[in-house]
Amino acid sequence: MDKRIVVSRVVPESALDVLREVGDVHVCPQDRPLTAPELREAVRGAHAIVTMLHDRVDAELVEAAGPQLEVVANVAVGYDNVDVPAVTGRGVTVTNTPGVLVDATADLTIGLLLMATRRLGEGERLLRSRRPWTFHLGFMLGAGLQGKTLGIVGLGDIGQAVARRARAFGMDIAYTGRRRVAADVEAELDARFLTKDELLRTADVVSLHCPLTEQTRHLIDEAALAAMKPTAFLINTSRGPVVDEGALAKALHEHRIGGAALDVFEREPEVEPALLDLDNVVVVPHLGSATTETRTAMAELAARNAAAVLSGREPLNPVRS
């Protein structure tokens, strides 16, 4: 009997072709995030589940699938949607898709940085509103990047890629995290390691690239925002709950920081309504990995991970509990 593979949402055909080589593929027909009961019903009898970042994968889902379940392949580098100990503790392999989205996410981060510091979204809204305007030397002044400090929270692969791009703009690099990176990486990026408090106090731009854990949930809260320079900008392309959106909206409304740019949100796809009324924040709908090439590569990598496990081989990207 063919092994049953459930894909929770539509993915590129090339990824499905990989899966069809090792089993019977079922793609959930609803092109939207499934409710928890819908997902539990869909995975019954599955040997492999290919999940999206909005799918909650926990012990209940594994039990709904049944004892034959071998692998959960998450189409994301982050896996905060997966209760890894609960899943792996039942003998099920968990995989993710690191590496393939580094450049796309780093590119978007720089795009958001420019939009926020140079008021590009605000300028476009002005023109689209058909309000009158004329050029003058004080018109819509933003902040330059040359000689400014980019403070990176989490200098992993994406953080390093952002740092390389920012150095091309003449920015100085500082970073914080659970530990220092290798000396050769520090040397290449001319990056200074700071405590979180030092980084918040001194950075002109704070860019978040840390995973979502219980330790990083609301890492940027009211106190963190109060520690930032009144001219500083916050960029988040990691996970929404790393930032307390209510506290951020209040800080922006009161102009206690210079501005913010967000690709991810605390209760995604919902956005804190107060943010949408502010001109000093840029918001885009989780576009970090949104290039055709990157999203295809993510789906194909998840498929190869699932296929490897179903074929009795080690996956390319196992997640350890």
pLDDT by 10s per residue, the chain, length 321: 699 999 999 999 999 999 999 999 999 999 899 999 999 999 999 999 999 999 999 999 999 999 999 999 999 999 999 999 999 999 999 999 999 999 999 999 999 999 999 999 999 999 999 999 999 999 999 999 999 999 999 999 999 999 999 999 999 999 999 999 999 999 999 999 999 999 999 999 999 999 999 999 999 999 999 999 999 999 999 999 999 999 999 999 999 999 999 999 999 999 999 999 999 999 999 999 999 999 999 999 999 999 999 999 999 999 987
Active site (annotated) includes residue 47: no
The pair of three-digit structure tokens given for residue 65, joined into one six-digit string: 């699938």
Q: Tell me what pLDDT residue 1 has.
A: 60
CA dist., res. 202 & res. 212, Å (int): 24
Phi and psi for 120 in degrees, rounded to 5? -70, -45
The pair of three-digit structure tokens given for residue 180, joined into one six-digit string: 């220092």
Query: Which has the closest alpha carbon to 19: 301, 315, 306?
Result: 306
Per-residue burial over 17-41, b if 16 or more Cβ lie within 10 Å, else e, is ebbeebbebbbbeeeebbeeeebbe
Amino acid at 9: R
- Comparing 3-100+292-310 with 102-283, is the CATH topology the same? yes
Q: Which of 47, 209, 239, 304 is catalytic?
A: 239
Q: Tell me what pLDDT residue 264 has.
A: 98
58 with 36: CB under 8 angstroms? no
Q: Does domain 3-100+292-310 have CATH number 3.40.50.300?
A: no
Q: Tell me what pLDDT residue 100 has.
A: 97
> What phi-psi label fits residue 240: left (phi over 0), alpha (psi between -120 and 50 degrees) or beta?
alpha
CA angle 14, 72, 160 (to 5 degrees): 75
Q: Is the model's pTM score more than 0.75? A: yes
Distance set, CA 149 to CA 72, 173, 204 (Å)? 40, 6, 5
- Within 8 A by CB and 6+ apart from 132, the residues are none
Q: Tell me what pLDDT residue 31 has.
A: 87
DSSP string across 23-36: EEEEE-S-SSPPPH
- Sequence spans of domains, the chain: 3-100+292-310, 102-283
Active site (annotated) includes residue 286: yes
CA dist., res. 283 & res. 263, Å (int): 6
Q: Which of 286, 295, 300, 304 is catalytic?
A: 286
The pair of three-digit structure tokens given for residue 318, joined into one six-digit string: 């196992």
Active site (annotated) includes residue 253: no
CATH architecture of 102-283: 3-Layer(aba) Sandwich (3.40)
Phi and psi for 40 in degrees, rounded to 5? -60, -40
